Amino acid sequence: MTGTVMGVTNAKEQSALDRAQEVRQFEDSKLGVKGLLDSGVKSLPPLFIHPPDILPTAKPVGSKPKSIPTIDLSGFDSDRRPLVVKEVASAAREFGFFQIVNHGVPPEVLDGTIKAMKAFHEQPTEAKAKIYRRESETGVAFFSNIDLLHSKAASWRDTLLIRSGPKLADLEEIPEVCRNEVIEWNQQIQWLGGLLMGLLSEGLGLSPSKLQDMTCLEKRNMAGQYYPCCPQPDLTIGIASHTDPGVITVLLQDHIGGLQVKHGDEWVDVTPIPGALIVNIGDLLQIMSNDEYKSVDHRVLANASPESRMSVAVFYYPSDCESLFGPFPELVSPEKPAIYQQFKVGEYLKTFYTNELDRKSLKNYFKA
């Protein structure tokens, strides 16, 4: 019996060592997933193969497809605003995700941002390898999987991460192939983020400036996520199921699709709508709203299309790391006491980045 246990233990240890070596080789190559394909890979390296319980399963035949709400923002600054606020708040409460149209961002800016980010990822490997790194004081980094070093299996995507607030990354560090578009997108997303936070604040019965007053608009990270065609999409995933830790996320995606949102026990496809943007609630806003708004699990399927998929996500966080955050006092009562502790954002994000959660949501970690 002891020999059997020892054998299992040794096998697990050897498997962990093998994975660590494979991760290090891949990381040192600075190829990224796109570089693997360019080098002639025809099947998934073991590093990218996920256990069956993580992988998507086929939907039941005949099941009626759901969809997340689509909200028309036109008239947000007119007498139509109460209706827009109501629809945004309803979507945030029920789904935690919604698409927005007539949001004011010009179509040419949306298209230009996607094309420029895609152009970066489709450069020769040597050009991207110059900024392949995990951390950067300059605010720009290219890598494959932010959690590569500690996840149980890697996902089939590459990322260009750019600090976009409070201060945009050093301009000379932003790759020239997408620099102008990043600058323009950052300006648009700052304005749009302020609009969305105003609507979400009002939806809670609070002042439109509530979230902005708490610096929730100021700290932003922009992630250009590139999902090349996967040779064996049934064995891996683009991004594993997770919730976002911040206040809100605004996502620009191309026409390929692959994003899924969990609603109840069902995974809902987020079908691309030309000109639309996707908004989702993060863990921090669910906490501050005392569970009025929902931060929900979502994932991206491995790309089975011959055409690469491109998306650009902007994650919003408070820049104030010293004040205490928790449920808004206005939303706490004897009938509905505070569901979460108070904490500093620095402590909150440290918990996320040190991987203490093992893919569990931050909102569960900080429950009262």
Q: Which of 221, 219, 217, 242 is nearest to 136 (CA)?
A: 221
Q: Which of 139, 302, 124 is nearest to 226 (CA)?
A: 302
The answer as to whether 275 is a domain residue is yes
State pLDDT tens for residues 282-334.
Answer: 999 999 999 999 999 999 999 999 999 999 999 999 999 899 999 999 999 99
Question: Would you say residue 357 has pLDDT above 50?
Answer: no
Question: ∠ at Cα 245 (239, 250), nearest 5°?
Answer: 70
State pLDDT tens for residues 20-63.
Answer: 899 999 999 999 999 999 999 999 999 999 999 889 886 665 56
User: Distance (Å, rounded) from C-alpha 134 to C-alpha 142?
Assistant: 8
Exposure string over 315-342, b if 16+ CB within 10 A, otherwise e: bbbbebeeeebbbbeebeeeeeebbbee
Residue 206: what are its φ and ψ, rounded to 5°? -105, 175
The answer as to whether 332 is a domain residue is no
Is the distance from CB of 259 to CB of 244 less than 8 angstroms?
no
The answer as to whether 1 is a domain residue is no
For residue 259, what is the enclosing H or E element?
strand 259-263
Owning domain of residue 23? 13-324
The answer as to whether 41 is a domain residue is yes
Q: Which of 297, 300, 296, 298 is nearest to 236 (CA)?
A: 300
The answer as to whether 55 is a domain residue is yes
pLDDT of amino acid 355: 61
Q: Which of 27, 308, 284, 21 is nearest to 141 (CA)?
A: 27
Q: How many structural domains compose the chain?
A: 1
Q: Which CATH number do you get for residue 126? A: 2.60.120.330
The answer as to whether 343 is a domain residue is no
The answer as to whether 356 is a domain residue is no
pLDDT exceeding 90 applies to what percent of the chain?
81
Collect all residues with Cβ–Cβ distance below 8 Å to 86 and sequence separation of at least 6: 203
Question: Would you say residue 137 has pLDDT above 90?
Answer: no
The answer as to whether 269 is a domain residue is yes
User: Distance (Å, rounded) from C-alpha 83 to C-alpha 126?
Assistant: 51
Q: What SS3 state is found at 109?
A: helix
Selected residue with higher pLDDT from 13 and 50 = 50
Adjacent-strand bridge partners of 310: 226
- DSSP-assigned letter for residue 243: -
| Mean pLDDT value across residues 114-123 | 99
Q: How far are the Cα atoms of 44, 211, 272 from residue 185, in angstroms, in the given order?
A: 34, 21, 19
- Sign of the CA dihedral 116, 121, 123, 126? positive
